[in-house]
Amino acid sequence: MTAHVTLVPRASEGAAGWCVEADTADSIVARRNALAALWAARLMHLSAEDAASYAAEVHAADFTSPGSDDVVHKLWYDLNRAGVPATPQAVREALSRCHREALAQVGATD
């Protein structure tokens, strides 16, 4: 039996340009960014309310430029500004761990 998928356009893109795979990839990246932000928030000893706001900031930072460098830079800068020593490489490793966790979480919801 073959599954049939009806594509529904994103409001911002119109009918062309939207597909399930792209939406899933966007969800994984958004979840990854939230998990990474919460990781950094714990290291910076932010309150639960501040951590939620910080997760929104990290999510917004991902739209600065293509790829993950904007998120890495934000996390690295904010951690160091808060007195938490971190290297860009350590942040990339944390982001990679968060990406694997996001994949598992999104996969668990299918």
Q: Is residue 13 part of a domain?
A: no
14 SS3 class: strand
What is the CATH classification number for the domain harbouring 51?
Answer: 1.10.790.20
Task: Output the tens digit of pLDDT for each of the chain's 110 residues.
Answer: 334 433 344 444 454 554 555 568 888 999 999 999 999 999 999 999 999 999 999 999 999 888 899 999 999 999 999 999 999 999 999 999 999 999 999 887 65
Q: Is residue 39 part of a domain?
A: yes
Residue 56, domain extent: 20-108
Q: What is the pTM of this model?
A: 0.77
Count of domains forming the chain: 1
> For residue 6, what are its two tokens?
């009806």
Q: Is residue 8 part of a domain?
A: no
> For residue 110, what are its two tokens?
């299918």
Q: Is residue 48 part of a domain?
A: yes
Contact 55, 41 (CB under 8 A): yes
Nearest Cα residue to 40 out of 53, 29, 28: 53
Q: Is residue 51 part of a domain?
A: yes
Q: Is residue 31 part of a domain?
A: yes
Q: Is residue 3 part of a domain?
A: no
**pLDDT recorded at residue 22:** 57
Number of other residues whose CB lies within 10 A of the CB of residue 11: 7
**pLDDT recorded at residue 106:** 86
CA distances 4 to 1, 7, 15, 25, 106, Å, are: 10, 10, 17, 20, 21
Q: Alpha-carbon Rg of the chain, whole angstroms?
A: 16
